Structure 1
Amino acid sequence: MTDRQVVVRAIEKALGEVLEREIAELTEDTRLFDDLRLDSSSVLELLLLVEDSTEIAVDPEDLDIDHLRTVRSFADYVESLLDRAEADA
């Protein structure tokens, strides 16, 4: 499994927990707000779950709404944090 697949799988698992249901046919083009109907509290829960599962730390000042448009944009953001943490190690 590639690093990207691990990140997307972590997001998928977290979304299932947040929404309390399995997400059928989740793709990287799935829109978090429009398709899955996330709100501010569910986004916060999603961030916390993904932080825990990937061992990253999200800086709220670094987070932009564009990072949360789709599964792809969120996975890109998580990957950038993982790359940054790896470079700092």
Structure 2
Amino acid sequence: MDRQNVVTALEDALTEVLERPVTGLTGDVKLFDDLHLDSTTMLEMLMALEDSIGLVVDPEDLDVDDFLSVETFTDFVLAATFEEMTA
């Protein structure tokens, strides 16, 4: 999975969770500030990503810094999927 695939999956998940179209995300978009996510919508987004791309996240591995922006979240997803592939 590459960065663009993660961003596309993120756009799809956010569209589902926020019930409005989310497209054209760039790395500098802030998830909480720009998209107005909260902890509940963040968890819903993670569950949507679990369903769509098979993302498996251990709650112990979650760090608020991973959710600062599209770029930091994409890095988090890529690291999580890499760890899963090498486990």
Runs of 4+ more than 4 Å apart: none
Per-residue CA shift, 1:10-56, capped at 9, x if unaligned?
01110111111112432111101000000111011001011221212
The alignment status of 1:37 with 2:33, answered yes or no, reads no
Letter in 2 for 1:74: F
Q: Which residue of 1 aligns with 2:10?
A: 11
Report the Cα distance in structure 2 between the residues aligned to 1:56 and 1:21, rounded to whole angstroms.
22
Letter in 2 for 1:6: N
Report the Cα distance in structure 1 between the residues aligned to 2:4 and 2:33, rounded to whole angstroms.
23
Q: What does 1:46-61 align with in structure 2 at a 5 Å threshold?
A: 46-61=45-60
Unaligned segments of structure 1, at least 5 residues: none
Superposed CA RMSD:
1.2
Report the Cα distance in structure 1 between the residues aligned to 2:61 and 2:2, rounded to whole angstroms.
22
Q: Which residue of 2 aligns with 1:73?
A: 72
Between the two proteins, what is the percent identity of the paired residues? 49
Q: What does 1:20-31 align with in structure 2 at a 5 Å threshold?
A: 20-31=19-30
Deviation at 1:3, TM superposition (A): 1.4
TM-score by length of 1: 0.90
